[in-house]
Amino acid sequence: MAIITLTTDFGTDDPYVAAMKGVILSINPDANIVDICHTIKPQSIAQAAYILSTTYHYFPKDAIHIVVVDPGVGTERQAVLLITPHGFFLGPDNGVLSDVAEEALPELETIALTNPRFWLSPVSNTFHGRDIFAPVAAHLSLGAPPREFGDLIPTIATLPIPGPNMGEDGVLIGRVIHIDRFGNLITDIKQADLPRGRLFVEACGHIIDDLSSSYEEGEELLAIIGSSERLEVSVQNGSAARFLRAKVGDEVKVGVNKSSLKGGLV
Amino acid sequence: MAIITLTTDFGTDDPYVAAMKGVILSINPDANIVDICHTIKPQSIAQAAYILSTTYHYFPKDAIHIVVVDPGVGTERQAVLLITPHGFFLGPDNGVLSDVAEEALPELETIALTNPRFWLSPVSNTFHGRDIFAPVAAHLSLGAPPREFGDLIPTIATLPIPGPNMGEDGVLIGRVIHIDRFGNLITDIKQADLPRGRLFVEACGHIIDDLSSSYEEGEELLAIIGSSERLEVSVQNGSAARFLRAKVGDEVKVGVNKSSLKGGLV
Amino acid sequence: MAIITLTTDFGTDDPYVAAMKGVILSINPDANIVDICHTIKPQSIAQAAYILSTTYHYFPKDAIHIVVVDPGVGTERQAVLLITPHGFFLGPDNGVLSDVAEEALPELETIALTNPRFWLSPVSNTFHGRDIFAPVAAHLSLGAPPREFGDLIPTIATLPIPGPNMGEDGVLIGRVIHIDRFGNLITDIKQADLPRGRLFVEACGHIIDDLSSSYEEGEELLAIIGSSERLEVSVQNGSAARFLRAKVGDEVKVGVNKSSLKGGLV
């Protein structure tokens, strides 16, 4: 069955997600619709990009991913389809797909959705998720050729992709980009960014003297390479966010642990 | 695949929705179950009716919609099946389906669910969603003839369907019927209700000088015909509910904008 | 279609559940994935066991149930597959499956998941839901023989299964084990535990003079055998939890109603 995923800021209390699913199933009753996330902070393009970028690799290469975080709906911003080796992506051209596009290069093809033949009629000015993205995804899942949705375009909007900086003292300076339900602080520091050697991590004024290999090893406050291959700061059976009063955007530093440095919390 | 949708006030923290899905899939393992909403305010028949009425048109005409907001479960209230040109609807006869029934007339057929052959056994007195509605929906999705579930009945319970009134001064007076996750105020004023001409909207003591055509056009506070073809009051990239301290039930007025009236907020 | 259910403490704001679904669908695109609950309190093994035990009986006997509440992920705790007459169960061997195991005896078979051929590679130390349980479930749904996942083991970890005690005065003493979205207090007292005769129930200092047969019969505060065949304390169209300021763990007592006892609230 064709897989269509949904990532939106619509929440689950309103009728919006259900309307999109109804539109998809009216065109392709056999579509297998998977909710990725509907509780993106309203209008948070960066958060939607993060959630999408940590999930889409796990889906089949022919899955169709719809992303609707779309503060500019009804204005001149384009609606696009990205064809990549990792799947098909539909969304507004507002930067929410810039991670996806960068990773797909040079095999990326981008199409501007301009052919109203595949849309609901009339198209509202406030809900392109239902009126454009859902029906286009459904037609795509039935085998409609992508070029029929519109013309190839050379480029899409990009967001600055966050990443750590190297400080003057050889200490890597990153940031918290997501706090999960367990209170884990997920940073923009990837495993490949880490210096060699025994490391220390500094977060919110606390020093962690080494990386742990599981949540139940190490001290109460610990640093670990998490499941998205990013550096995370965690508290064993607790919430690092609450313990450290941390928030998205806070700095997290990583450096090589000199023997003179005492471990533990300071 | 047969589509069965669920609209309930069960939330998603309790085992109730999953039990219904298990019952459906035990009878029809190929049913495609779609969640419309499970966070209806407990016992809010009006909210369930609103969510359902803004979504069911987007589903295939043979979809089966189960609605369980059922404060009278276990009492004399009847359980019904509505057969309409827009789909099949199962729920308690407490008014939650009155919008659906009105729209389906004169092609509506209503059946009282009285045949226990299609129910779980024993039937609890507190959970007909699991014990009656889920198994009846599953059997219906497999092709059981509707008349086997019970007898045709002539009428169902109705709720007053909210709508705006015309004031003495030619100003239309409606109400906020729903506030969505973005803080948009959705009213009971439909596009067809609007007077001709350049309009003003008054909500919570603020005057909006015209209708906008997208969330990013117009002033910070704007009025727009939303995706359900209703008048909405919105704040660009913000929450009208928070900005206006509005709540469900608040009045919203619409009139023809006289040239003498100054625009903007007052 | 093969049915795979998910019960986790991952919430629905993070990418974890979607990653598991992607892994399953990449291996078996036709799997029918059903969410049982993702809002288990973080690390609450007892709550996950309760939610699972009140739902799995309603699913087909060949359904595959994944439970991931796993504070010990990445340590020595085993990952297991339980083969029972009621379905297949995958989870960490931390007690979350002890109810399931007890009910399945003597027909229970337990396999330790040790064969990495069915896992994602590499396996993270923090997310076995995605890297072990999801792919094993997907392969199982495609017909992989259970014995290929690892060796039979004789026993699994067990949690004490809560239940009521008989007090000296012939009064049964149970506890609130779950509070649902409606504020109903669900106890560990099962219908079969109840003494014969006209009963009274005591909860949080209030006496309820008899059992009701529906939420709309009896007094405002009422006791009822709920849909999971457990004694519940409810308030008609309201919240017993709020009315009684009750919490999980509070005592609820049941005894035979002597004729001298006056009914109603005291």
Chain C residues within an 8 Å CB radius of B10: 181
Q: Which of residues 214-233 of A touch C (CB under 8 A)?
A: 214-217, 224, 226-228, 232
Does residue C128 form part of some domain?
A: yes
Chain A CB within 8 Å of residue C34 CB: no
Q: C128 and C10 share a domain?
A: yes
Could A12 and B38 be called an inter-chain contact, meaning their C-beta atoms sit closer than 8 Å? Answer: yes
Assigned token pair, C16:
């974890």
Does residue B158 form part of some domain?
A: no
Q: Can you tell me the distance from the alpha carbon of C203 to that of C223, in angstroms, rounded to the nearest whole number?
A: 10
Identify which of A61, A60, A81, A79 has the alpha carbon closest to the alpha carbon of residue A70.
A79
Chain C CB within 8 Å of residue A14 CB: no
Q: C16 and C129 share a domain?
A: yes
Q: A29 and A140 share a domain?
A: yes
Chain B CB within 8 Å of residue C13 CB: no
Single out the residue in C108, C124, C152 at which a domain terminates: C152
What distance in Å separates residue A161's CA from the closest CA in chain B?
22
For A16, which residue in chain B has the nearest alpha carbon? B55
Could A74 and B214 be called an inter-chain contact, meaning their C-beta atoms sit closer than 8 Å? Answer: yes
- pLDDT value at B77 more than 70: yes
Could B22 and C57 be called an inter-chain contact, meaning their C-beta atoms sit closer than 8 Å? Answer: yes
- pLDDT value at B22 more than 70: yes
- The predicted-structure confidence for A57-66, as pLDDT tens digits, reads as follows 999 999 999 9
For B135, which residue in chain C has the nearest alpha carbon? C58
**Is residue C225 very low, low, confident or very high in pLDDT (cuts 50, 70, 90)?**
very high
For A214, which residue in chain C has the nearest alpha carbon? C74
Enter the DSSP assignment of A58.
G
User: φ and ψ at C247, to 5 degrees?
Assistant: -140, 165
To the nearest 10°, the Cα dihedral for B237, B241, B242, B248? -160
Number of domains in chain C: 2
Identify which of B101, B100, B126 has the alpha carbon closest to the alpha carbon of residue B36.
B100
- pLDDT above 90 covers a percentage of chain B that reads 79
Chain B residues within an 8 Å CB radius of A16: 180, 227
- pLDDT value at B38 more than 80: yes
Q: A81 and A205 share a domain?
A: no
- Determine the residue among C13, C30, C119, C181 to mutate to test chain A binding: the one whose Cβ has the most chain A Cβ atoms within 10 Å: C13
**Is residue B213 very low, low, confident or very high in pLDDT (cuts 50, 70, 90)?**
confident
DSSP character string of A144-178: --GGGG--B-S----PPPP--EE-TTS-EEEEEEE
Does residue B157 form part of some domain?
A: no
- The predicted-structure confidence for A148-193, as pLDDT tens digits, reads as follows 999 999 988 887 777 899 988 889 999 999 999 999 999 999 999 9
C122, HSE (Cβ side, Cα atoms, 13 Å): 9
Domain that holds residue B197: 165-265
Q: Which helix (H) or strand (E) holds A211?
A: strand A211-212
Task: Give the CATH number, domain containing residue C53.
Answer: 3.40.50.10790
A64, HSE (Cβ side, Cα atoms, 13 Å): 25
Q: Give me the pLDDT at residue B219, please.
A: 66
Does residue A58 form part of some domain?
A: yes
- The predicted-structure confidence for B154-186, as pLDDT tens digits, reads as follows 988 888 777 899 988 889 999 999 999 999 999
- Determine the residue among B21, B75, B132 to mutate to test chain C binding: the one whose Cβ has the most chain C Cβ atoms within 10 Å: B21
Instruction: Kindly provide the residue ranges of all beta strands, DSSP E only, lying in A38-164, ordered along the sequence.
Output: 64-68, 79-84, 87-92, 109-112
Of B29, B74, B75, the CB nearest to C60: B29
- pLDDT value at A261 more than 80: no
Identify which of A44, B124, A196 has the alpha carbon closest to the alpha carbon of residue C228.
B124
Of B18, B25, B42, the CB nearest to C60: B25
Q: Give me the pLDDT at residue A121, please.
A: 92
Chain A residues within an 8 Å CB radius of C14: 37, 51, 178, 180-181
The residue length of chain C stands at 266
| Residues facing A8 on adjacent strands | A68
Enter the DSSP assignment of B41.
P
Q: B129 and B180 share a domain?
A: no
Looking at residue C5, its amino acid is T
Of A36, A38, A224, the CB nearest to C126: A224
Chains that touch C (3 or more CB pairs under 8 A): A, B
For B239, which residue in chain A has the nearest alpha carbon? A42
Chain B residues within an 8 Å CB radius of A71: 215-216, 237
Is the peptide bond preceding residue A122 cis, with omega within 30 degrees of 0?
yes
Q: C133 and C175 share a domain?
A: no
Q: Can you tell me the distance from the alpha carbon of A10 to that of A41, in angstroms, rounded to the nearest whole number?
A: 9
Does residue C158 form part of some domain?
A: no
Chain C CB within 8 Å of residue B74 CB: yes
Could C26 and A217 be called an inter-chain contact, meaning their C-beta atoms sit closer than 8 Å? Answer: no
Q: Give me the pLDDT at residue C218, please.
A: 63
Put residue C175 in one of left, alpha, beta given phi > 0 → left and psi -120 to 50 → alpha.
beta
Q: Please, which residues have CB within 8 angstroms of residue A21's CB and are 6 or more apart in sequence?
A: A6, A33, A134, B34, B58
Chain B residues within an 8 Å CB radius of A11: 180-181
Single out the residue in C152, C173, C205 at which a domain terminates: C152
Q: C137 and C46 share a domain?
A: yes
Task: Give the CATH number, domain containing residue A213.
Answer: 2.40.30.90
Q: Can you tell me the distance from the alpha carbon of C263 to that of C248, in angstroms, rounded to the nearest whole number?
A: 26
Q: B8 and B135 share a domain?
A: yes
**Is residue A218 very low, low, confident or very high in pLDDT (cuts 50, 70, 90)?**
low
Q: C111 and C171 share a domain?
A: no
Q: C43 and C131 share a domain?
A: yes
Average confidence score pLDDT of chain B: 92
Q: Can you tell me the distance from the alpha carbon of A89 to that of A133, in angstroms, rounded to the nearest whole number?
A: 10
Could C12 and A37 be called an inter-chain contact, meaning their C-beta atoms sit closer than 8 Å? Answer: yes
Q: Can you tell me the distance from the alpha carbon of A88 to that of B68, in angstroms, rounded to the nearest whole number?
A: 36
Q: In what order do the strands lie in the sheet with A87-92?
A: A32-37, A3-8, A64-68, A87-92, A79-84, A109-112
Q: Can you tell me the distance from the alpha carbon of B87 to that of B60, in angstroms, rounded to the nearest whole number?
A: 7
Chain C residues within an 8 Å CB radius of A215: 71, 73-74, 126
Does residue A159 form part of some domain?
A: no
Does residue C157 form part of some domain?
A: no
User: φ and ψ at C45, to 5 degrees?
Assistant: -65, -40
Give the number of B-C residue pairs with CB atoms closer than 8 Å. Answer: 99
Chain C residues within an 8 Å CB radius of A56: 22
Q: Can you tell me the distance from the alpha carbon of C250 to that of C174, in angstroms, rounded to the nearest whole number?
A: 8
Q: Give me the pLDDT at residue C219, please.
A: 66
Q: Which helix (H) or strand (E) holds B111?
A: strand B109-112
Q: Give me the pLDDT at residue A160, please.
A: 77
Q: B144 and B172 share a domain?
A: no
Chain C CB within 8 Å of residue B41 CB: no
- CB neighbours of residue A233 within 10 Å: 29
Does residue C256 form part of some domain?
A: yes
Identify which of A208, A242, A213, A241 has the alpha carbon closest to the alpha carbon of residue A225.
A213
Chain A CB within 8 Å of residue C41 CB: no
Single out the residue in C125, C152, C179 at which a domain terminates: C152
- pLDDT value at C217 more than 90: no
Q: What's the pTM?
A: 0.93
Chain A CB within 8 Å of residue C161 CB: no
Identify which of A169, A91, A170 has the alpha carbon closest to the alpha carbon of residue A137.
A91
Q: C148 and C44 share a domain?
A: yes
Strands B211-212 vs B221-225: parallel, antiparallel or unpaired: parallel
Could B26 and C60 be called an inter-chain contact, meaning their C-beta atoms sit closer than 8 Å? Answer: yes
Assigned token pair, C266:
């005291």
What distance in Å separates residue B32's CA from the closest CA in chain A?
8
Average confidence score pLDDT of chain A: 92
What distance in Å separates residue C222's CA from the closest CA in chain A?
30
- pLDDT value at C71 more than 70: yes
Chain C CB within 8 Å of residue A41 CB: no
Identify which of A243, A197, A186 has the alpha carbon closest to the alpha carbon of residue A219.
A243
Q: Can you tell me the distance from the alpha carbon of C23 to that of C32, in angstroms, rounded to the nearest whole number?
A: 13
Could C58 and B22 be called an inter-chain contact, meaning their C-beta atoms sit closer than 8 Å? Answer: yes
Q: Can you tell me the distance from the alpha carbon of B33 to that of C2, in angstroms, rounded to the nearest whole number?
A: 14
Q: Which helix (H) or strand (E) holds A141?
A: helix A134-141
